Amino acid sequence: MENWSQHLVNELSKVVHQLDEQLIRPTEQWLEEVADRFLEVSDQWVGNTENWENQPDEFRYPDLESLLDRLNQTVEPLGRSLNQQVDEVVAQLDQVLDPLVNGLSSLDQWLEDVSTPLNNTVEPILHNYPACVGCRNFYGQAHGGNTLVCAMHPFGPEDRQQCLDWESVYR
């Protein structure tokens, strides 16, 4: 337990490395493929527009419609591919981040478990309930302006120095 912070840093480092392996590199490859495909489409488009410029007016508009259709046919698979890639990236992120989020959520319970003995020792002293120092039943929260000391003695034990229901917070 002494090196828990180092262990946490090591685990986070592993997660980042896995994220790089599973997400960033495939995404870079996919972007390169998209860029190459876009370059092909733009070269076709430039070639078609050069031909389009040399044609008489009555032939320009049908070619434009044809060009737009071909452009749409070329771009539509890219859009589907992009959606598929985004879905895969989201799924990979879920796989990588879910254990991390679950681990962090259990950290909250761990911190509460660790801090309870300290809180149940310090809070009674601050609220002037010496019989409650170190008692696992101490609550000490205010509701409607009244402090609820514990369920058995809502306003504190009658004997401020000793409580018959006292149980140690240190199990």
To which residue do tokens 């039943």 refer? 137
Distances (CA, A) of 91 to 14, 36, 83, 104: 18, 25, 12, 20
Which residues sit opposite 141 in a β-bridge? 148
pTM higher than 0.85: no
Any idea where the domains of the chain sit in the sequence? Answer: 4-113, 127-171
**Selection from 150, 132, 103, 148 nearest residue 8 by Cα:** 103
pLDDT value at 81 more than 50: yes
Mean pLDDT of 69-97: 81
Looking at residue 153, what is its pLDDT?
A: 92
> Once rounded to an integer, what is the mean pLDDT over residues 134-156?
87
Which pair of tokens denotes residue 154? Answer: 């809502």
Cα distance between residue 146 and residue 154, in whole Å: 9
What burial class does residue 135 get, using C-beta atoms within 10 Å of its C-beta: 0-12 exposed, 13-18 middle, 19+ buried? buried
149 has pLDDT over 50: yes
Is the alpha carbon torsion for 72, 75, 77, 82 positive or negative?
negative
- Calculate what percentage of the chain has a pLDDT beyond 90: 4
Q: What are the tokens at 63?
A: 């070619």
Count, residues in the chain:
171
The answer to whether residue 168 scores a pLDDT higher than 80 is yes
Q: Summarize the confidence of residues 3-22 as an average pLDDT.
A: 73
